[in-house]
Amino acid sequence: MSRGGVSTPILHVDMDAFYASVALRERPDLVDQPVVVGGSGRGVVLAANYVARRHGLRSALPMTRARRMCPQVVVLEPDYALFTAVSASVMETFREVTPIVEAMSLDEAFLDVRGSTRRLGDPPDIAERLRSTIHDEQGITCSVGVAATVSVAKLASRRAKPDGVIVVPPAEVTSFLHPLDVGELYGVGEKTQALLHRFGLMTVGDVAHTPLRTLQRAVGAHLGRELHHLAWGTDRSDLAPSAGPHEPDKSMGANETFARDTDDRDFIVRELLRLSARVGGRMRSAGVAGRTITLTVRFADFTTITRSRTLSEATDVTVEIHRAVTRLYDALGLQRARLRLVGVRVEGLVPRSSVQRQLVLGEPEHGWAEADRAVDRATRRFGAAAVRPASLV
């Protein structure tokens, strides 16, 4: 692709194998080995490094299958507090370049750099600057797509992986897009891909050259119009920026798949405490709190249900999160129902600094919130296993 200029102001920056790359910073001895991040037993792969990917390992793959496919794979436990801290630093780097940053997840964001070119150079120069800064400061790599619209930038960053930059100027959009399978279009999932294939629309070019009304009759008015714009690279170029460098996720959560299905309440309540501590630690690291606590349970037959409770005030305190999910679990009356998975999620997150906790008569001056922060300090210094609730020892 040619260099491009201010006609390509949208950057999509995507960290390369983010969870695995961050985990390997702590284990440089493993960089040449197949490594995945995820839960043990019947959990799933959260991320795989590029060595593991050469063995066919990928995210969302059941861990038992990953081990069969690659017996020598090294499995590292996820450190969500560390992932969140690194993500916050990366997002801060983005905002030093431009205030118009639309974060999509912990490890990817769109940037509009049209207001930064006078100070920092053309968008491709800014892309290279970001890659260099993130590598120097965080010790991980990223890939960047540079284009005029969101979807083309997203596809370009995918093609740039790992550790590269691809620029798609407006004049080259059709030659870049049209040979691709329709399933590669941004936002097109397996069902839409299969639907388009049934109508004989195999490539993006096929979709682009189908009359709009014909396309809409086949897949519906809204989807047809959206696919038409995606196929011609004329989708949106305006971003919805976050409010600031510490813009919180809408929610944070964690799940645990048990090694064996169980109906043991004591065991399940202990796992809910473990998950509550994990989620609370991530929230405190990100400086957020939330009011809505959600419990997820998955039964042995894979039926899944969720239950939520909204607290009177937002919290990031492990004990309060655990108390809420335990009450939700007990309210289900599952004394003999065998569970495969439980999950804890806190939703409606807001900056912790905006929360004014009400004083409670008789509450000690230094309570559970202070205890959590002491645990966080010990964990950062000595590792995740240094301090844990007594019931988990």
Residue with tokens 């007990």: 330
pLDDT at residue 323 is higher than 70: yes
Q: Is 14 annotated as a binding residue?
A: yes
- Residue 34 in any domain: the answer is no
Q: Is 301 annotated as a binding residue?
A: no
Give the Cα separation of 318 and 138 in Å (integer).
29
Question: Contact 95/77 with Cβ under 8 angstroms?
Answer: no
Which of 87-96, 298-307, 315-324, 330-339 shows the lowest mean pLDDT across its residues?
298-307
Residue from 293, 300, 167, 155 nearest 233 by CA? 155
8-state DSSP, 62:
B
- Residue 274 in any domain: the answer is yes
Give the Cα separation of 195 and 215 in Å (integer).
11
For position 326, which CATH number holds? 3.30.1490.100
Letter for the amino acid at 114? R
- Residue 375 in any domain: the answer is yes
Number of structural domains (the chain) is 1
Q: Is the peptide bond before 28 cis (omega within 30 degrees of 0)?
A: no
Angle between helices 265-286 and 80-97 (to 10 degrees): 20
Counts for the chain of helices (H) and strands (E), in that order: 15, 13
Those residues whose C-beta lies under 8 Å from the C-beta of residue 262, and which sit 6 or more positions away, are: 268, 338, 339
CB burial of 247-270 (b: ≥16 within 10 Å; e: otherwise) equals bbbebbbbebbbeeebeeeeebbe
Which is it for strands 288-299 and 304-315: parallel, antiparallel or unpaired?
antiparallel
Neighbours of 159 (CB within 10 A): 15
Catalytic-residue membership of 108: yes
Tell me the average pLDDT across 350-355: 76
- Residue 293 in any domain: the answer is yes
pLDDT at residue 173 is higher than 60: yes
Distances (CA, A) of 269 to 4, 80, 307, 322: 56, 21, 15, 8
Those residues whose C-beta lies under 8 Å from the C-beta of residue 31, and which sit 6 or more positions away, are: 24, 49
Helices (H), 70-186: 80-97, 117-120, 123-138, 150-160, 173-177
Tell me the average pLDDT across 207-236: 93
* ∠ CA 375-381-384, rounded to 5°: 60
pLDDT at residue 151 is higher than 80: yes
Tell me the average pLDDT across 28-48: 87
pLDDT attached to residue 4: 52
Which of 169-173, 268-272, 370-374 shows the lowest mean pLDDT across its residues?
370-374
Query: pLDDT of 99-114, one tens digit each?
Result: 899 988 889 999 999 9
Which is it for strands 142-147 and 165-167: parallel, antiparallel or unpaired?
parallel
| Average predicted confidence (pLDDT) for the chain | 86
Q: Which of 102, 108, 247, 320 is catalytic?
A: 108
- The partner residues of 15 in beta bridges, in order of sequence, read 142
Q: How confident is the model at residue 80 (pLDDT cuts 50, 70, 90)?
A: confident
pLDDT attached to residue 304: 80
Question: Which residue segment(s) compose the domain that 309 sits in?
Answer: 251-392
Q: How confident is the model at residue 385 (pLDDT cuts 50, 70, 90)?
A: very low
- Residue 343 in any domain: the answer is yes
Residues in the chain: 393
Query: pLDDT of 266-285, one tens digit each?
Result: 999 999 999 999 999 888 88
